[in-house]
Amino acid sequence: MGEAIYRTYRVVARRSEGSVGATLILDGPLQAEPGQFVMVWLPGIEERPLAVMDDDPLALTVRVVGPFTRALAACAPGDRLWVRGPYGRGFPVRGEQALLVGGGSGVASLTLLAKRLMQENGHVRVALGARSSDQLMLPWRFRELGCELLLATDDGSEGLRGTVLDAAEPSLSAGWADVVCACGPEVMLLALARRMEGSDVPLYLSLERSMKCGLGICGNCYCGNRLVCLDGPVFPVQEVLCLLEPPP
């Protein structure tokens, strides 16, 4: 019938993500590149960007941080979501031995990449970090895909006690990876970028920003002279290193 701005999906299944939030499996596919995002509207509540966790069927993982994400995470099978997109530049699907590094809600933008890389017969190691084991995002999904998991928690309740960078360190120092892709808090991305300075292994970073249009028009998601929705959210490290915020 044409012209509709949103595609409407129904929630088919909801999977709790511990104390973090939930994953919603929807009733249809969405063709997307790994790392791209969609704008999700809940009428009467708000519209926000979310990473495409999986593409067929479309799945979204939501971390509860405010009223919108609380309402989204509370969706039950049968509930409807309004989706536009996908938008932005995603991760290149390259590398025979890929190291993915994720923290916070950013982890959801790495799962589709892991799936594509596994489909290409790549070896995928995934380093995940969180405060404690119940806040680790989507380890089940990476396990399901057959990735090798490297876990770290601040309190040592799962994996090694430390940061996600500690979990990734043995792979980094052994020169295991031929590509590294990361998404998470900017402090984490900056630390990873600094750790890999001088390395010739390509590093791609996915940035997170508050967005309004998602279309490269409003400028709300700027990072220096870049627009995260238009130029990103995934950037080769060289493009954004000088723009990342140093830790306070």
**Under rule CB under 8 A, residue 212 binds other proteins:** yes
- Among 146, 219, 236, 247, the residue binding other proteins under the rule CB under 8 A is 219
Question: Which one of residues 149, 201, 213, 241 is an interface residue with other proteins (CB under 8 A)?
Answer: 213
Stretch that binds other proteins, among 2-10, 17-25, 119-127, 166-174 (CB under 8 A): 2-10
Partner residues linked to 236 by β-bridges? 204
Q: What is the DSSP letter of 127?
A: E
Number of H helices, E strands in the chain: 7, 16
Token pair recorded at residue 41: 């509207």
Q: Does residue number 4 form part of the binding site for other proteins (CB under 8 A)?
A: yes
Residue 64 structure tokens: 């509860």
Least separation in angstroms between CB 245 and other proteins: 14
Distances (CA, A) of 121 to 106, 113, 140, 143, 192: 24, 12, 20, 15, 26
Indicate which single residue of 53, 138, 189, 230 sits in contact with other proteins (rule: CB under 8 A).
230
**CA dihedral angle for residue 208, residue 214, residue 215, residue 219, rounded to 10 degrees:** -60
Is 140:130 a contact under the CB 8 Å cutoff?
Answer: no
3-state secondary structure of 54: strand
Q: Looking at 35, 48, 184, 240, which residue binds other proteins (CB under 8 A)? A: 48
Among 227, 234, 237, 240, binds other proteins (CB under 8 A): 227
**110 vs 230, which CB is nearer to other proteins?**
230
Contact stretch for other proteins (CB under 8 A) within 1-9, 57-65, 116-124, 185-193: 1-9
Q: Alpha carbon 107 to chain centroid distance?
A: 4
Interface with other proteins by CB under 8 A: which residues?
3-6, 8, 39, 41, 43-44, 46-48, 80, 82, 212-213, 215-220, 222-227, 230-231
